[in-house]
Amino acid sequence: MAIHEIKPNIHSVGAIDWDRRLFDELIPLPQGTSYNVYLIRGTQKTALIDTVDPQKESELVDNLKKLKVDKIDYIVSNHAEQDHSGTIPKILEMYPNAKVVTNPKCKTMLMEMLLIPDDKFMTVKDNDTISLGDKTLEFIIAPWVHWPETMLTFLKEDRILFPCDLFGSHFATSEPFVKDNWEIYEPAKRYYAEIMMPFRTSIKKHLEKIKELDIEIIAPSHGPVYNNPRFIMDAYADWVSDKVKNEVIIPFVSMHGSTRSMVDYLVDALIEKGITVKPFNLTETDIGELAVALVDAATIVIGSPTVLVGPHPSAVYAAFLANALRPKLRFASIIGSFGWGGKMVEIISGMLTNLKVEIIEPVIIKGYPKKGDFEAIDRLADELSEKHKTLNL
């Protein structure tokens, strides 16, 4: 049960998922998540903003029963992904006169994924409005946060923005509102890194549009509600900006200690030059922490031994992830070792094609590092330091 009043006649009626530890069978959720649903009762019409993941269907149904909701006129679908749309068929079954309000692209996806019939929809365009009597919903088409069909809904009189995934956080809490901005900062940044970062350019444009709205509350569909929207909007403005920080992240894996000793040496050399270093042992690390570090870093150095003439599969995974998340990195390099040969550098650098990075001369050694190899790592640290200086960080 998770019913909270957000404002008079506006309730949060979704579900908290305390136990979920993996999303999309990929993303770790160390703090669980929530699927937020908002019930808005106007003087004439009632609207539901999004629904819950089908696993939590009964909780949404119970919440609506507890609030004695005898009619829903509109089910607004901001995003077709099933953690928000998956219970629309059940709500339509309970309230057969309800219309699913969404944009044409989202409608097509909902018809394909949830088999909702055509006559159940009402489609809207950018800036269209629907009146609930004393309350007005305005729809803002905002593609690519993080699917092509996404939109935001703004409740004008109450000045509440319902952005679905945008500004969300995978953070299960019994508190309806953010109590401590800095407590939510890290989960929100992790969420941005994993879900939103590949669409940084689109989000930047949407933020400009959102700034024109007079927002009092941001009510996302994951995590707590922001009653200080400026905090999360400023955080997003920083994350999507082109600014990078004086940081080097080093995702690495080592089988027999050679690559590990190179990484340790490089970490110390970079620290001596005043650079923030974040090494991630890929066999131990939560991949979400690596994603968070990618938000701000200027440089990535991937460390890998050679396995079957190529990089270690864990390093391949990290390279694939970094490339897919499209962070604003400026420089990349590779360090590692081999026993008798291989194409580790070619394979890893060939995987970073989405990144607009300058590749700094890799350091690849045979066996355990020797004096000359450590000197090569010193030269890599020097070059990275010089490159960072050119960015005026």
Min dist. Cβ of residue 291 to ligand FEO (A): 16
How many whole angstroms from its chain centre is CA 47?
27
373 sits near ligand FEO (criterion: CB under 6 A):
no
- Would the CA dihedral through 191, 189, 161, 241 be positive or negative? negative
State the Rg of the chain over Cα: 24
Among 135, 190, 222, 328, binds ligand FEO (CB under 6 A): 222
Min dist. Cβ of residue 52 to ligand FEO (A): 10
Tokens 């010193």 found at: 378
Tokens (6 digits) for 180: 């401590």
- In this structure, the number of other CB atoms found within 10 A of the CB of residue 144 comes to 17
State which amino acid sits at residue 88. I
Min dist. Cβ of residue 164 to ligand FEO (A): 7
Q: Which of residues 273-332 bind ligand FEO (CB under 6 A)?
A: none
The Cα angle at residue 178 between residues 174 and 179, in degrees rounded to 5? 85
- Choices 75-83, 119-127, 341-349, 354-362; region in contact with ligand FEO by CB under 6 A: 75-83
Tell me the residue number closest to ligand FEO, measured at CB. Answer: 81
Within 8 A by CB and 6+ apart from 65, the residues are none
Q: Which residue's CB is nearer to ligand FEO, number 79 or number 260?
A: 79
Min dist. Cβ of residue 167 to ligand FEO (A): 12
**Peptide bond between residue 84 and the one before it cis (omega within 30 degrees of 0):** no
170 sits near ligand FEO (criterion: CB under 6 A):
no
Q: Which residue's CB is nearer to ligand FEO, number 19 or number 180?
A: 19
Min dist. Cβ of residue 222 to ligand FEO (A): 6
Tokens (6 digits) for 22: 């993996």
What is d(CA 101, CA 113) in angstroms, rounded to the nearest whole number? 16
Among 20, 84, 189, 312, binds ligand FEO (CB under 6 A): 84
Q: Which residue's CB is nearer to ligand FEO, number 189 or number 278?
A: 189
Strand pairing category for 4-7 and 10-12: antiparallel
247 sits near ligand FEO (criterion: CB under 6 A):
no
11 sits near ligand FEO (criterion: CB under 6 A):
no
81 sits near ligand FEO (criterion: CB under 6 A):
yes
149 sits near ligand FEO (criterion: CB under 6 A):
no
Residues forming beta bridges with residue 332, ordered by sequence position:
300, 359
Among 56, 79, 135, 260, binds ligand FEO (CB under 6 A): 79
Q: Which residue's CB is nearer to ligand FEO, number 104 or number 148?
A: 148
- Choices 40-48, 81-89, 92-100, 178-186; region in contact with ligand FEO by CB under 6 A: 81-89
Residues forming beta bridges with residue 252, ordered by sequence position:
281, 303
Give per-residue burial for 118-138: e unless 16+ CB within 10 Å, then b.
eebbbbbeeeeebebeebebb
83 sits near ligand FEO (criterion: CB under 6 A):
yes
Within 8 A by CB and 6+ apart from 59, the residues are 1, 2, 14, 15, 52
Among 17, 73, 165, 194, binds ligand FEO (CB under 6 A): 165
Read off the DSSP letter of residue 119. Answer: G
- In this structure, the number of other CB atoms found within 10 A of the CB of residue 339 comes to 12
Min dist. Cβ of residue 306 to ligand FEO (A): 38
Min dist. Cβ of residue 31 to ligand FEO (A): 15
Q: Which residues are at the interface with ligand FEO (CB under 6 A)?
A: 79, 81, 83-84, 146, 165, 221-222
